Structure formats: structure tokens, C-alpha cells
């Protein structure tokens, strides 16, 4: 607000009538409060420099306010030396250069790529990958070269050690991971790396990498080591395909042979068991028949000793009954008046029957 001091002074002089020139208010401040206040207002000059200094001081003090997010931990340094660790929430530290605060994300899962570079995070399509041969080519235990591309996932275990014990933390993890993978691959054959040994290689690499980083006191926890693509070098991949095809053919032939074996062996065992059972049955039959015939002969002998003539006649009659009642036998009956036997015997037919029985 702009004041016209000259006009105001003249007005006050006219009203008082006794105010000497140059004095625009009464001599007693208590007798004229308005005039005294106007004099103070006229004499007031606020220093702009002090205002600027005050604003800068407030801004400097307020720069010590910082907020730690839920997935972070605050690490406060005093004159460049570790002082304290704070948990998530609002905090205050002495402004720079007295104290400085870092807020690393301890729950975030970081990753490094070894042997390739992806165009975007989480993309593993082959068309979007750029191979890095100097990192991926490794020597196996059976002196073969294999191309291994893998990723390492890790978290911050100790934020103080992570920030101050090693520099370029991601590069350190990647270099240690490459060394660990080369060592593990060097103890395994190429078949393990290409087929069923991948899980064991991943676990051993993870444990070895964790041991290396613990030796560095890097404050890092290895979450997982995942092999993305493992294949022979392009120069020899055709030869490996031929070897794989030969192994598949060998496995197929072995499976077919085992299937034939599993089919023929039970059949052979069943046939052998059948022959053995038949032999046992034949044996048992012959033994029982022999025992029966022996018992029958002993009974007949007992009866024969009691009455020899009658028993002899009965046996003759029973034998003749069996012969004459058999339709398969050709019978020639001769009486007592026949002078010769030879002309009546069918010798040609008897010879033919003997030859037929011999062929059977």
C-alpha cells in the first residue's frame, strides 16, 4: 500500500494546529496512537536478504525428510560413514552434507543375463535374444563345447554390505555366475547338460555362486539359476543331431527287444510248465497203473493157488472174450480138419499193417 506522506502530514498539522513543521504526530505517543503507528509503518524497511536466507534455511532443513517405501530399507550415512538403518515409513536425517540416505529395494528380485541379452525384461523369445558367445561357450567334462544361456535371480540380503562392500553389484553377480557355471559344466558330460542333468547343474551352480558371493560379503541372496537354452555350437549341431538320432534308434531297438522278450518268456515258461505237468501226470498214471496191475496180479495168484485149474480156465476165457469182442482185430477161425495153416493166412495184408504201424 502506497502512502502520500506529505499530504498526510499537512492534514495532521491542520487538525492539531500546534504541530511544528517536520513533526507529523504529537510528542506523546500515548496521546495519539494513530500517528505513532503511522510513523512506525513509515520507518519500517523489511530486509529482503534476510527473507531469502530464511527461505533457503527452511528448504535446507526440509531436505532431510525422506520416505522409505514398504519394499525398501533406509541406510543413513553420517559424513560418509554408516550410521543407522531405518525401516519403511517417513524419517528424517540431517541435511547434506552432514547425513545422506539410501533406500535400496530389498524385496525386489533382480536378474542378470549370461550368454545373451534380451530386448525387454521377461522376454525369452528366440527372435528377441542377442547371443553373447564369449559368455555362453563352455567346455564340458568330456571335452565338448556347449552353448549355455542362463539367467540369475537374486535379492539384497544385507543392504549395508550390498551398498558398500562391492561396487557394480550387477556386474559382480554376473561375473561370479559365469565362473560358477563354467566350473559346474566342466565337471559334467555334455549329455547331462543337454538332457536330464539340467536341474542338478542349476542347483549346483546356485550353491557355488552363493558361496562365492558370501566370500565377497556382497550382501546378496541367490534366488535361482535358470538355464534358458543349452545347445551345441552351430558348427557341429548337425553331427549332434545324428548322434541323437542314433541314440533314439538304439533306444527304440532295445525297447522292441525287451517287448519281444517280455512276450516270449512268459509263453516259454507256460509251455515248459505244461510239459512238466504232463510228464508228472504221465508218471503218476504209470506208477498207479503199475501198482494196480501188481496188486491185481497178486490177488489172481492167491486165487490161482487156491484152485489152479479153475483159475487157469477162467483166465483163458476172459482173454478169449477180450480178443473176440475187439472189432479192430481181424480174426481167422480154423477147425481141426484144416490140413494147413499157411494158405489161409493173409500174409500180404499182415505185411502192409506192419509197415503202416512202423511209419506211425
C-alpha cell at 33: 496512537
Residues 6+ away with beta carbon under 8 Å from 167 = none
Give the pLDDT of residue 330.
Answer: 72
Largest distance between two CA atoms of the chain: 212
pLDDT averaged per 10 residues in sequence order, the chain, 360 residues = 58 58 46 53 62 83 83 87 86 84 89 82 56 88 88 93 90 94 91 85 94 93 91 76 78 90 89 92 92 86 81 84 81 65 59 65
Distance CA 15, CA 130 (A): 95
Q: Domain map of the chain by residue range?
A: 5-45, 61-102, 110-232
Q: Quick one: CA torsion of 127, 131, 137, 138, rounded to 10 degrees?
A: -80
25 alpha-carbon distance from chain centroid: 96
* CA angle in degrees (0–180, nearest 5) for 58-63-69: 140
Give the per-residue pLDDT at 230.
86
Phi and psi (nearest 5°) for 302? -65, -45
Handedness of CA 250, 255, 258, 260 (dihedral sign): negative
Are 12 and 35 a contacting pair, CB within 8 Å?
yes
Distance CA 299, CA 293 (A): 10
Helix/strand/coil (H, E, C) string of the chain?
CCCCHHHHHHHHHHHHCCCCCCCCCCCCHHHCHHHHHHHHHHHCCCCHHHHHHHHHHHHHHHCCEEEECCCECEEEEECCEEEEEECCEEEECCCCCCEEEECCECCCCEEEEECEEECCCCCCCHHHEEECHHHHEEECCCCCEEEEEEEEEEEECCHHHHHHCCCCHHHHHHHHHHHHHHHHHHCCCHHHHHCCCHHHHHHHHHHHHHHHHHHHCCCEEEEEEEEEEEECCHHHHHHHHHHHHHHHHHHHHHHHHHHHHHHHHHHHHHHHHHHHHHHHHHHHHHHHHHHHHHHHHHHHHHHHHHCHHHHHHHHHHHHHHHHHCCCCCCCCCCCCCCCCCHHHCCHHHHHHHHHHHHHC
**Other CB atoms within 10 A of residue 258 CB:** 10
pLDDT at 213: 94
What nine digits make up the cell of 293? 496191475
| Cα–Cα distance, 125 to 133 (Å, whole number) | 18
Q: Which three cell numbers stand for residue 12?
A: 495532521
CATH of domain 110-232: 3.30.479.30
φ and ψ at residue 146, rounded to 5 degrees: -135, 145
Amino acid at each position: 500500500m502506497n502512502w502520500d506522506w506529505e499530504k498526510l502530514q499537512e492534514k495532521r498539522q491542520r487538525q492539531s494546529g500546534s504541530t511544528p513543521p517536520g513533526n507529523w504526530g504529537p510528542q506523546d505517543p500515548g496521546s495519539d496512537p494513530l500517528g505513532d503507528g503511522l510513523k512506525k509503518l513509515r520507518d519500517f524497511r523489511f530486509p529482503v536478504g534476510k527473507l531469502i536466507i530464511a527461505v533457503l534455511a527452511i528448504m535446507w532443513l526440509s531436505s532431510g525428510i525422506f520416505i522409505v517405501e514398504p519394499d525398501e530399507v533406509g541406510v543413513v550415512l553420517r559424513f560418509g560413514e554408516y550410521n543407522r538403518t531405518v525401516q519403511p515409513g517417513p524419517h528424517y536425517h540431517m541435511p547434506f552434507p552432514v547425513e545422506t540416505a539410501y533406500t535400496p529395494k530389498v524385496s525386489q528380485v533382480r536378474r542378470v543375463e549370461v550368454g545373451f541379452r534380451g530386448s525387454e525384461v521377461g522376454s525369452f523369445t528366440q527372435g528377441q535374444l542377442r547371443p553373447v558367445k564369449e559368455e555362453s561357450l563352455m567346455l564340458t567334462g568330456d571335452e565338448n563345447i556347449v552353448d549355455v544361456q542362463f539367467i540369475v535371480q537374486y535379492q539384497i540380503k544385507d543392504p549395508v554390505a550390498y551398498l558398500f562392500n562391492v561396487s557394480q553389484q550387477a556386474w559382480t553377480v554376473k561375473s561370479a555366475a559365469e565362473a560358477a557355471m563354467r566350473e559346474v559344466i566342466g565337471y559334467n558330460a555334455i549329455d547331462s547338460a543337454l538332457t536330464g542333468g539340467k536341474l542338478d547343474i542349476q542347483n549346483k551352480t546356485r550353491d557355488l555362486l552363493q558361496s562365492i558371493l558370501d566370500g565377497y560379503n556382497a550382501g546378496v541372496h541367490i534366488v535361482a539359476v535358470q538355464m534358458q537354452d543349452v545347445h551345441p555350437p552351430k558348427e557341429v549341431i548337425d553331427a549332434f543331431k545324428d548322434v541323437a538320432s542314433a541314440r533314439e534308434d538304439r533306444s527304440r531297438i532295445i525297447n522292441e527287444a525287451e517287448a519281444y522278450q517280455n512276450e516270449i518268456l512268459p509263453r516259454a515258461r507256460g509251455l515248459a510248465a505244461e510239459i512238466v505237468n504232463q510228464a508228472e501226470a504221465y508218471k503218476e498214471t504209470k506208477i498207479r497203473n503199475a501198482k494196480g496191475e501188481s496188486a491185481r496180479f497178486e490177488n489172481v495168484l492167491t486165487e490161482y493157488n487156491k484152485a489152479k485149474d479153475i483159475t487157469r480156465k477162467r483166465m483163458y476165457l476172459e482173454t478169449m472174450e477180450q480178443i473176440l469182442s475187439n472189432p479192430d482185430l481181424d480174426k481167422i477161425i480154423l477147425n481141426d480138419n484144416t490140413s494147413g495153416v499157411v494158405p489161409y493166412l493173409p500174409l500180404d495184408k499182415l505185411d502192409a499193417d506192419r509197415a503202416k504201424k512202423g511209419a506211425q
